[in-house]
Amino acid sequence: MGAPGAAYRRLSPPIAASTRPPPQRGPGGAARPRRAGRGRRGGSSPRPSQPLGQWGRPPSGRGAAAPSRRDVGGAHGRGQRGGAMASSVVRATVRAVSKRKLQATRAALTLTPSAVQKIKQLLKDKPEHVGVKVGVRTRGCNGLSYTLEYTKSKGDSDEEVVQDGVRVFIEKKAQLTLLGTEMDYVEDKLSSEFVFNNPNIKGTCGCGESFNI
């Protein structure tokens, strides 16, 4: 506390300090231009930024961000977009085909030999499951997307397709969209997936994961 009778005045808040040094003044008070590389002590050049690793993030090490679920999933993560269940088989896409290309059959769905073989292979070490179930969900850029999951029993409203010892169950919501569809399995160096050659759809998205009717 100051002496009695002394006047008090409120001090204004301090001005934030700048990290840039004040400009040097030459003769006549004119500011001298700053030299390159003088922003750090000793005139050293600024340190280069840390190189970005995959996905545009710093490489592993101290301060590196943990990978997201999409980064860990890689290319196959697309098959589980939208919160797919853990019982999903593999990625399933759809392909629009001409109605003349597929012969009319009584079954709602037919399977190619490669699809039959792959389903048998997937169920070989899963004796508690009796087959796979095809469903349809509202998601993706074109509105609808097929799902393919293991199943332990037939649902009350499921339609069952049996071919070459393989059982495929179709959910009620997907039955009308699959009439006359051929289910195939395609595998190459980049991906492996079930493909529904469907004559009922009007268009698909670029990746084939969603469609509209």
Domains and CATH numbers, the chain: 80-208 (2.60.300.12)
Confidence of residue 190 (pLDDT cuts 50, 70, 90): confident
Could you report the per-residue pLDDT of 43-60, keeping only the tens digit for each?
A: 555 454 444 343 334 344
Task: Give pLDDT, residue 122.
Answer: 95
CA distance 145 to 81: 10
Q: Pick the closest to residue 164 from 124, 111, 102 (CA basis).
A: 111
pLDDT of 169 over the 90 cut:
yes
CA distance 167 to 176: 19
Structure-model confidence comparison of residues 66 and 2, the more confident one? 2
Could you report the per-residue pLDDT of 99-151, keeping only the tens digit for each?
A: 554 455 556 899 999 999 999 999 999 999 999 999 988 865 656 788 899 99
Confidence of residue 201 (pLDDT cuts 50, 70, 90): confident
Question: Is residue 175 within a helix (H) or strand (E), and if so which, with residue range?
Answer: helix 172-175
Distances (CA, A) of 213 to 102, 156, 169, 173, 200: 17, 25, 21, 13, 7
Distances (CA, A) of 188 to 73, 78, 185, 194, 201: 19, 17, 10, 12, 25
Task: Give pLDDT, residue 128.
Answer: 96
Average pLDDT over the chain, rounded to whole?
Answer: 67
User: Other C-beta atoms within 10 Å of 21: how many?
Assistant: 9
User: Other C-beta atoms within 10 Å of 116: how many?
Assistant: 17
Structure-model confidence comparison of residues 201 and 162, the more confident one? 162
User: Other C-beta atoms within 10 Å of 178: how many?
Assistant: 24
Q: Pick the closest to residue 202 from 143, 147, 148 (CA basis).
A: 143
Task: Give pLDDT, residue 32.
Answer: 59
Task: Give pLDDT, residue 87.
Answer: 56
Confidence of residue 205 (pLDDT cuts 50, 70, 90): low
